[in-house]
Amino acid sequence: MSDYPFLDKAYLGALENSGAVTAERGWTPCHLALEDAWLPLYARSHSRGEYVFDFSWAEAYQRHGLAYYPKLVTAIPYTPVTGPRWRGSPDPGQLWDAVQAQMVETGASGWHLLFPDQPSREALEELPLVARQACHFRWLNRDYRDFDDYLARFQSRKRKNLRKERQRVWDQAVTVQRIPGPAVTLDQWRVFYQCYASTYLKRGQYPYLDESFFLQLSKKLAPQILLVLAYRKDKPVAAALYFQDSQQLYGRYWGCLEEVDGLHFELCYYQGIEYAIERGLQVFDPGVQGEHKILRGFEPVITWSLHHLREPAFQNAIADFCKEEAEHVQRYRDEAMTLLPFRKDGG
């Protein structure tokens, strides 16, 4: 059984119990319990919080006098992390029949399965789904002994720049503490949440997740959590929260109470890389977007989503769109590969 944390009942349950995932928030749970599997499924009244952007599809429906919402989505709400998309081993035909029945029952325009891993995609490859590509960035462990061994692969100038970036943080009297989930105190959780919420409040927005969500996870998923706190003169100034399984580290949330030059990169990237090396984790997913990750050694990888629209004309149109888009994504990935900081000799 996979130890991928985001399909755990505790994670999805905390989203619903805390009020982050409700009909009022545009996420109506209508999960499918199949004979040999369980599939998360949500009827959506908008597309926010998915990170696979289909707003132009919704606009096209509207221009033709059709309703794009509700739509059905299989995803981890607010969590754009690649992984398995069901628990168990579903029969693809039975799964498809159940999804189709749910589309009819809810009047949904279609079904969208977001950020599936390769086994999930391969299991559904015979279904009438359009595959869409995007490009995100991952750190890959090449059996590094430590952070210096990792930097040894860098070109000299870029290695010096990275070391200077880290040193700037320490020169500002900052200390960093990595705390495993079971050891995080209630006060530290509250500091983290204050930091996390500040990233939204600074933009005049409310955070998607409230404090109760994280406190529920602290009780249920603590062994798979890592909290990183930064202090300046014993005062907390920033925090980053990670999840992990047996193979991967996932950087999920960050926030700061005080601006410190370079601290975002330290907490969200370099601390994660060090931790992944120490624990022998093979992949570190730092979150979506951000070309600045390339110069820090995060490699461009293709991520996927699968789509079915019940209107045949629109299904054909998005198939053409996704085919053309994939060519642009592949060119972008190829160009990004040339910008990585590693030595050309591979040493």
- pLDDT tens for each residue of 26-81: 999 999 999 999 999 999 999 999 999 999 999 999 999 999 999 999 999 999 99
Question: What pLDDT band is residue 347 in, cutting at 50, 70 and 90?
Answer: low
Beta pairing class for 174-180 and 87-88: unpaired
Dist. CA 139–CA 135, nearest whole Å: 14
Distance linking the first and last C-alpha atoms of the chain: 37
pLDDT of residue 2: 82
Judge contact between 77 and 31, C-beta under 8 A. Answer: no
3-class DSSP state of 345: coil
For the record, the structure tokens of 6 come out as: 């985001």
CA 65 to chain centre: 33
The residue that leads in pLDDT, 99 or 204, is 99
> In which residue are the tokens 């700061």 written?
256
Dist. CA 132–CA 134, nearest whole Å: 7
pLDDT of residue 346: 61
Beta bridge partners of 176: 230
Is a pLDDT exceeding 90 seen at residue 317?
A: yes
Is a pLDDT exceeding 80 seen at residue 293?
A: yes
3-class DSSP state of 135: strand
CA 335 to chain centre: 23
Average pLDDT of span 139-146: 98
Average pLDDT of span 180-187: 98
Neighbours of 89 (CB within 10 A): 10
pLDDT averaged over every residue in the chain:
96
Question: What pLDDT band is residue 286 in, cutting at 50, 70 and 90?
Answer: very high
* Least confident interval from 114-123, 147-156, 286-295: 286-295
pLDDT of residue 218: 97
pLDDT of residue 55: 96
pLDDT of residue 233: 87
